Amino acid sequence: MTSTHRTTGTSLAAATVRGRGIATSPRRLYAALLLASLSLVGPVGCKSTGDGFFNITNVYGRHGKIANGYSTRDPFAPLEGQADFDKAQALFDAGNFEDAEKAFKKVAKKYKDKPIEEEAMFMLAESKYERKEYPSAQDAYGELMKKYTATRHTEASTRRLYSIARYWLGSPPSPSEIELVQYNAGRLNTPEGDKEIPVPRQVAIAPNFTDKTRPFFDTHGRALQALTAVWLNDPTGPIADDALLMAATHHMRKQDYKEADHYFNILREEYPQSEHVQTAYVVGQRVKLLAYQGADYDGKALDDARKLTSSTLKLFPEADQRSQLANDLGKMDAAAVARDWKRVELYLRKRQFDSAAVYCVIIMQRAPDSEYAQRARKTMMKIGPERAGEAWARMPRPSQSVPPRTPGDQPDSDMPDVDFPGADEPVENSPPEEMPAEESVDDEPAPPAEPRRRPTRVVEPEFTEESPEPDEPGRARLTGGDSE
């Protein structure tokens, strides 16, 4: 064929049939059918068959429409609705914020999903902020960053939210101005130091009828919501760490230590280069310690506090709070020993004397000069000192190892004690008692083992401070059968 126009698949297939008859080869037949099927979709050429359907609008929905509006418009042409926006901007520049707010609201509604909508929504929030309608302004900034997640007004919006939250919380001072100063002086969490801390007080269910700058309900809750929006919407922004520190400080001063620990933990892990990181370590370890509820409760908070205190001493060797950190570490060790003694008492009540002996040995190793160690020795004398040998042979490693101390890290004796569960037990400085040595049986052959008889009566020892110690420790052991 010499014609200049493009031959479609149908005409080519027809020509094949007319000129050659029915295709004698399956390969030629398949080729003819393929050309015929392509002719039904569209003309042969370089244009994609899906170009008329698949575009950014259909694929990405509402956001695709917005992006398509940016991509198809002339970059040098004014935005659609620019004239209306300029009129509203003129009202804003003249200080007529009430009329400007109404005008920006009309522009945002009229040109929805258009490029000008982003600018109108931001200026609408700015108009509310200038009118000191902070609750409405917070909602407006939130709607802007929710619809335009990558808006160019992110930093400006988060700064506005931070200032609103700070106003609602009463401009709280930083922990470096109060908590760290008290910690250096040993007055943190003491009755005298608590009087210097501004405790945020508010009745969340009390309505607000007079002040339009504050929400109708729960001012502090709305402030925390604004701080969360700051570091969630702009996590790499310049004030994300400031928002986290303010939220953690608020919860700490309300004695909500678990929530405060959550924010301090985010600050330490996500912002290691922040100027507040040392505060997050020093004050954060005290928050973890205060979150510990005592030996009768879960000990994870105590374990985490001990690990964090050890890390703080290593990361900040020149910190002014070093002696106080070492003092806190000693109190945590005492609280850990108190937890072990609770386990001893539990196993004694359950008559599992071998398990009780295991923790008695742990206590005597961990704190040999403590009162708990003296109790553990007396307990071992009553249940039988030979149990210590058996327990020592199969004793597991303590779950809480005492961190190493460096020279000069001794707690100051004149520092006031901090009341927290497990750390208020008196400490006696009496020398440790010697455990009775086991009798050697190397010189005599061991007697043949006798069959174990079922006990007819088991006498449980009484563990009291007034009970006299036996002259021979071996007689006080419970044998499980009749004593010989």
User: Would you say the C-alpha torsion 462, 464, 466, 471 has a positive or negative sign?
Assistant: positive
* pLDDT score for 41: 54
- Digits of tens for pLDDT over the chain (484 positions)? 444 444 444 444 444 444 444 445 777 777 777 777 665 555 544 544 444 444 544 555 555 555 555 555 566 667 788 999 999 999 999 999 999 999 999 999 999 989 899 999 999 999 999 999 999 999 999 999 999 999 999 999 999 999 999 999 988 888 878 777 777 676 676 665 666 667 777 766 778 888 889 999 899 999 999 999 999 999 999 999 999 999 999 999 998 999 999 999 999 999 999 999 999 999 999 899 888 888 888 888 899 999 999 999 999 988 888 888 998 888 888 999 999 999 999 999 999 988 888 888 889 888 888 889 899 888 888 887 677 665 454 444 444 444 444 434 443 333 333 333 443 444 333 333 444 444 443 444 444 545 555 444 444 445 444 443 434 333 333 333 443 3
Taking a C-beta distance cutoff of 8 angstroms, is the pair 345, 372 a contact? no
Q: Long-range contacts of range 122-128, CB-CB < 8 Å, 24 or more positions apart?
A: 122/151, 122/153, 122/156, 122/157, 123/85, 123/88, 123/89, 123/92, 125/157, 125/160, 126/92, 126/160, 127/92, 127/97, 127/98, 127/100, 127/101, 128/101
Rounded to whole angstroms, how far apart are CA atoms 354 and 360?
A: 10
Measured CA to CA, the distance from residue 80 to residue 111 in angstroms comes to 8
pLDDT at 66: 58
Find out whether 100 and 123 touch, Cβ atoms under 8 Å: yes
- Give the CATH architecture of domain 80-166: Alpha Horseshoe (1.25)
On the CB side of 184, CA atoms within 13 Å amount to 9
pLDDT at 434: 43
**Contact of 277 with 271, CB cutoff 8 Å:** yes
Token reading at 477 = 């052991």
CATH code matching the domain that covers 179-393, chosen among 3.30.365.10, 1.25.40.10, 3.40.50.450, 1.10.468.10: 1.25.40.10
Q: Which amino acid is at 224?
A: L
* CB neighbourhood size of 184 (10 A): 15
Q: What is the pLDDT of residue 58?
A: 55
Give residue 232's pLDDT: 94
The domain ranges of the chain are: 9-38, 80-166, 179-393
Q: Is residue 361 packed enough to be buried (19+ CB in 10 Å), middle (13-18) or exposed (0-12)?
A: buried
What tokens were used for 164?
């609103």
What's the token pair of residue 95? 């200080």
**Residue 142 in contact with residue 229, Cβ under 8 Å?**
yes
Write down the residue that tokens 């569209």 correspond to: 42
Tokens 């928002």, residue located: 243
Give CA–CA dist 161/134, Å, rounded: 9
335 burial level (CB within 10 Å; 0-12, 13-18, 19+): buried
Asked if residue 387 lies in contact with residue 379, where contact means CB atoms within 8 angstroms, the answer is no
b/e per residue, 101-137, with b = 16+ CB within 10 A? bebbbbbbeebeebbbbbbbbbbbbbbbbebebbbbb
Q: Which helix (H) or strand (E) holds 264?
A: helix 257-270
| Predicted model pTM | 0.64
Report pLDDT for 63.
56
Query: Is there a common fold for 80-166 and 179-393?
Result: yes
Contacts of 383 (CB under 8 A, 6+ apart): 353, 356, 357, 461, 476, 477, 478
DSSP 443: S
What per-residue confidence (pLDDT) applies to 68? Answer: 58
Burial 343-353 (b: 16+ CB within 10 A, else e): bbeebbeeeeb
Q: Is residue 264 a contact partner of residue 283, using CB atoms and an 8 Å limit? A: yes
Task: Give residue 15's pLDDT.
Answer: 46
Residue 53: predicted pLDDT: 46
Amino acid at 414: D
